[in-house]
């Protein structure tokens, strides 16, 4: 089953962005985060292009097993860890590293004969999501013994480097890790890219930056030296000539100010284009910027074709990609580039 919208992945851009992460990380090892179908870029496409990273991370065990089934043999961390003894057995069999983010996961592990699978102990230093309480860190690490390979935590406000929670989280993490003499991992893309984060850790865990989108508010990917890896395109289905006063699409939210050409493009929210993108959101056709007009439908959008009078049915429109940053579209649609990349990319999996 196919739909006309297409996602193209530039694997050279993935490699370029990894090299940039490597340069920023100095001596820290790089765990490339390829959860959620590698932010829509395809698990295997990304795993192969990012092969020179030191490890991969995914959210769930089934994602990790999928990678192992496809001969991805690199060290692989599962952020959500195990939920059952069977999960632990599978992890051991497939040499997965499991995050321990709640104490009952240690209770369960202790029912398993040794050797235990490798684990990373995750501490909640202020994110308030996954991770054990700092006061339990020493004891948890002791119970894990030599199965524990690293200590990790996650920042809540890395994209706002001046946020006071960053200082609190860094201090808490430093205090806990100082005594435990284990490798450490804290930074995501935003923290890795901002010079204000000074703590030295043994591992960094970039995701978004590898895909060429900026994680920092107010700094573009191009300014950071990143190259967008995903291009989302769809063909122009029709060109219509409307009269002044005609309204376009559901809710009749947009009215033609003068006689004008309107393009219909074969992409909609079913393909991952954000339904909340407002009129004015840029779409590129043959190098010209044609603003979205009217509401986004399930399978199509409408654009003002006045900037591109020579466009023809069949021409390809670019919704985001090089020259049209996904961050700009995300801002317009009041969401984040992460969400747009994941959603558009799910179509790629369905098609392959
Ligand atoms: C998703 C995730 C990352 C990567 O974050 P980016 O902002 O995409 O760099 C790192 N660590 C954890 C625990 C994550 O869940």
Beta strands in the chain (DSSP E): 6-9, 29-33, 55-58, 76-78, 97-100, 119-122, 148-152, 184-185, 203-204, 230-242, 247-248, 254-255, 260-265, 282-285, 288-293, 301-304, 316-320
Q: From the CA of 213, how far away is ligand 1's center (Å)?
A: 13
**117/303 Cα distance (integer angstroms):** 54
Local structure of residue 325 (DSSP, 8 states): -
Q: Is 79 in the pocket of ligand 1 (CB under 6 A)?
A: yes
Position 350 scores a pLDDT of: 44
CA 152 to chain centre: 19
Contact between 4 and 313 under an 8 Å Cβ cutoff? The reply is: no
**319/232 Cα distance (integer angstroms):** 5
Task: Give the pairing type, strands 148-152 and 119-122.
Answer: parallel
**292/184 Cα distance (integer angstroms):** 46
Helix, strand, or coil here: 68?
helix
Closest CA to 31 of 184, 252, 165, 140: 184
Residue of 36, 57, 209 to test ligand 1 pocket, by largest number of atoms within 8 Å of CB: 57
Q: Is 122 in the pocket of ligand 1 (CB under 6 A)?
A: no
Q: Is 206 in the pocket of ligand 1 (CB under 6 A)?
A: yes
Position 349 scores a pLDDT of: 52
Atom nearest to 159 CA in ligand 1? 7
CB atoms within 10 A of CB 221: 23
CA atoms 274, 327, 188, 58: torsion sign: positive
Q: From the CA of 164, how far away is ligand 1's center (Å)?
A: 20
CB atoms within 10 A of CB 62: 12
Q: Is 154 in the pocket of ligand 1 (CB under 6 A)?
A: yes
Contact between 136 and 116 under an 8 Å Cβ cutoff? The reply is: no
Position 218 scores a pLDDT of: 85
Helix, strand, or coil here: 98?
strand
Q: From the CA of 204, how far away is ligand 1's center (Å)?
A: 10
The size of the chain, in residues, is 352
How is 216-271 classified by DSSP, letter by letter? STT--HHHHT----EEEEEEEEEEEEE-TT-EESGGG-EE-SSSEEEEEES--GGG
Atom nearest to 205 CA in ligand 1? 10
Question: Each residue of 90-112: b (16+ CB within 10 Å) or e?
Answer: bbbebebbbbbbbeebbebbeeb
Beta strands in 76-171 (DSSP E): 76-78, 97-100, 119-122, 148-152
Contact between 211 and 49 under an 8 Å Cβ cutoff? The reply is: no
Catalytically active residues, by annotation: 35, 250
Q: Which residues of the chain have pLDDT under 70?
A: 1, 347-352
Could you tell me the pTM of the whole model? 0.96
Task: Report in angstroms the alpha-carbon separations of 239 from 99, 113, 177, 233.
Answer: 53, 67, 62, 17
Residue of 14, 46, 154, 157 to test ligand 1 pocket, by largest number of atoms within 8 Å of CB: 154
Domains of the chain plus CATH, in order, are 11-211 (3.20.20.10), 230-324 (2.40.37.10)
Instruction: Say which residues have a Cβ less than 8 Å from residue 9's Cβ, sequence separation at least 6.
Output: 41, 42, 45, 46, 229, 230, 231, 348
Atom nearest to 59 CA in ligand 1? 15
Q: From the CA of 66, how far away is ligand 1's center (Å)?
A: 20
Contact between 158 and 187 under an 8 Å Cβ cutoff? The reply is: yes
Q: Is 189 in the pocket of ligand 1 (CB under 6 A)?
A: yes
């Amino acid at each position: 089953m196919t739909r006309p919208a297409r996602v193209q992945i530039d694997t050279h851009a993935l490699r370029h962005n990894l090299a940039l992460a490597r340069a920023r990380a100095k001596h820290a090892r790089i765990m490339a985060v390829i959860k959620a179908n590698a932010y829509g870029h395809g698990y295997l496409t990304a795993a192969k292009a990012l092969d020179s990273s030191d490890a991969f991370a995914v959210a769930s065990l089934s994602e990790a097993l999928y990678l192992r089934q496809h001969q991805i043999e690199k060290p692989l961390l599962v952020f959500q860890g195990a939920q059952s003894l069977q999960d632990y057995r599978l992890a051991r069999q497939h040499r997965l590293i499991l995050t321990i983010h709640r104490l009952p996961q240690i209770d369960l592990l202790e029912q398993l004969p040794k050797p235990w699978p490798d684990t990373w102990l995750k501490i909640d230093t202020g994110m308030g999501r996954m991770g054990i309480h700092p006061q339990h860190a020493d004891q948890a690490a002791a119970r894990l013994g030599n199965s524990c390979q690293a200590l990790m935590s996650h920042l809540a406000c890395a994209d706002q480097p001046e946020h006071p929670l960053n200082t609190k989280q860094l201090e808490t993490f430093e205090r806990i890790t100082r005594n435990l003499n284990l490798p450490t991992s804290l930074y995501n893309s935003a923290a890795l890219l901002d010079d204000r984060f000074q703590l030295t850790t043994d591992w960094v865990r970039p995701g978004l930056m590898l895909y060429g989108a900026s994680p920092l508010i107010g700094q573009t990917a191009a300014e950071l030296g990143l190259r967008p890896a995903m291009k989302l395109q769809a063909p122009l289905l029709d060109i219509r000539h409307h009269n002044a006063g005609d309204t376009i699409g559901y809710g009749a939210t947009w009215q033609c100010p003068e006689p004008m050409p309107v393009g219909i493009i074969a992409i909609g929210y079913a393909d991952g284009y954000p339904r909340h993108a407002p009129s004015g959101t840029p779409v590129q056709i043959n190098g010209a910027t044609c603003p979205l007009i009217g509401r986004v439908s399930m399978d199509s959008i409408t654009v003002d074709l006045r900037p591109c009078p020579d466009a023809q049915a069949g021409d390809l429109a670019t919704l985001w990609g090089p020259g049209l940053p996904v961050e700009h579209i995300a801002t317009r649609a009041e969401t984040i580039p992460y969400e747009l990349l994941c959603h558009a990319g799910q179509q790629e999996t369905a098609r392959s």
